[in-house]
Structure formats: structure tokens, C-alpha cells
Structure 1
Amino acid sequence: MKRILFVCTGNTCRSPMAEAMFRAKTAGRGYEVRSAGVAAFPGQEASLHAKQVLDERGIEHEHTSSRLDEGLIDWSDVILTMTNSHKHAIQTFFPLALPKVYTLREFVGVEGIPDIADPFGGALEDYRRCAEEIEESLDRLFAMLQHPRFREFGAE
């Protein structure tokens, strides 16, 4: 199994949506997917709007937040953050993670705006837009991981 960790701030909006969406996209293909937050309060549910967006997309989800720690760093093969600030926080507090931490958009080659905006506290439509941004990157990620060049991250 290859292990992908999605990271955002509180692990209640973006990273849980990315985790659930990528898990659904890769079901049965040998990937393990988790999410965490750099400033999460462990045990919180995903936000109501995040859950609603996943429900609208027909994606199963059960989530309680996790704070990023050394165990998750060690567990992961690649760490994909929602923003540059998340990436820099990980590089600062977990320097051994440096070779495997990227922003999601950086990793998949999206140019321009490097961050996926935080919908926290916004309207349902903000969460829908966020999910669309995440899905665009996850589609690229899935395609990349099918390429032989990325076999170290993907399933055989």
C-alpha cells in the first residue's frame, strides 16, 4: 500500500474532503489515504458544509480530526498540503519530512494560485467551489500516479 497524507489547518474542511474524494477515486487500487491538520483539535467532526458537499457527490465519509504528528509523517509516503503556509509549517517543525512534502497544486503541476482557499465559516457555495478546486487537483494526481514514473507513490 502507498500512503498519501492530505494536510490543512484544522482538518475539518479541505483535507477531509481531499481524503474522502481521493479514497473514493482510488478505491481498490492499493492506496491508503489519511488527513491531518497543522493546528487541529483532535476528535472534531468534519464541518457540516464539508459533509454536505461530500454527500452531494455521493462520497462516503466518516471523519474525526487529527493533529499532524511524527507518527503521521513517518506513516506517509507523500504529504500534500492545501497551502504553502502548511508546507512551510511542516518543513519547520518536521524537517525530516522535507523530501516528501508538497502543496497539492505544486505536486500536480497547477500553476498560478498555489493555495486552495479555506472555506471555513463560509457558505455552502464556498465549500462547493473548494471541492471543485480539490477535485481538479485530485484528477491530476490520480493520472500522475498511473504513470510509471510515479510507481514509488502508486500501486502496481
Structure 2
Amino acid sequence: MPNLLFICSKNQWRSPTAEHLFKNHQVYEARSAGTSEKARIKVSAKLLAWADVVFVMGRKHKQLLQQRFAEVIIEKEVVVLDIEDNYQYNDPELVAYLSNALKPYLEDAD
């Protein structure tokens, strides 16, 4: 089962929403984390090692991962979704945006 990791800043709205999309999914397992010290769940080397694909909400998240965890993510696919931080958890617009943005990367996500 491929492991998907979704990362935003505080792990409050965007990345937990993405994780929720894959709850009880038959093909993928998903987790989420944040890059901020104030994150609900902080990204770690262990979480990154667990992931097969890492999805970040913005370029700044990818840059932070490269700075903090270069040795872990060097062999990982890190996808920038370019989703701004202006949605609440499970916002229907965010869910639709995530679903469309993830389709090219997740052939079996339907």
C-alpha cells in the first residue's frame, strides 16, 4: 500500500483535509504533518522515511524539507500542490481542489 504524506505549515486545515480524503482508502495510506513549531503534528525524519510520495502545499514547505531533512528526502518524490492557506478543514472548495490536483499523481485514487 503506497504511503502518502501531506504537509502544510500548522497541520490544521490543508494537510489534514488531504489526509482525510484517503481515510479507509483501499489503495493508499495517508498521514499529515506541519513544518511549523506550532504544528499539531510536526514533520519528522521518521514520517518522511515512511512516505512513498510527499505532497506539500507550497514551495516554502518543500524548501524547508530540503533544508531540514535533505538526507531523507533526496530519494523521495516531493510534489508542490500550490494551495494557499485560506481554507478551513474539509472546506468543499479545498476538497475539490485537492481531488483535482492529486489526480495526475494517483491513478487509483478514484
TM-score, structure 1 as length reference: 0.58
Q: How far 1:16 sits from its partner (Å)? A: 0.8
1:23 partner amino acid: F
Q: How far 1:90 sits from its partner (Å)? A: 0.5
Match of 1:34 among 23, 31, 34: 31
> What is the aligned length?
107
CA contact (8 A) 2:14 2:94 kept: no
SS of the residue aligned with 2:106? helix
List alignment gaps of at least 5 residues for structure 1: 43-64, 105-114, 120-125, 148-153
TM-score, structure 2 as length reference: 0.79
Q: What is the alpha-carbon root mean square deviation over aligned residues?
A: 2.6
1:128-153 residue CA offsets vs partner (Å, 9 max, x unmatched): 8x652453232342464227xxxxxx
> What are the within-5 Å matches in structure 2 for residues 1-156 of structure 1?
1-20=1-20, 22-24=21-23, 27-41=24-38, 65-96=40-71, 97-98=73-74, 99-104=76-81, 115-119=82-86, 126-127=87-88, 131-142=92-103, 144-146=105-107
List alignment gaps of at least 5 residues for structure 2: none
Report the Cα distance in structure 1 between the residues aligned to 2:28 and 2:88, rounded to whole angstroms: 25
Q: Given the superposition, is the C-alpha separation of residues 8 and 15 from structure 1 closer, same or farther in structure 2, using an over 3 Å criterion?
A: same
Report the Cα distance in structure 2 between the residues aligned to 1:145 and 1:78, rounded to whole angstroms: 10
1:117 partner amino acid: E
Report the Cα distance in structure 2 between the residues aligned to 1:72 and 1:132, rounded to whole angstroms: 27
Larger Rg: 1
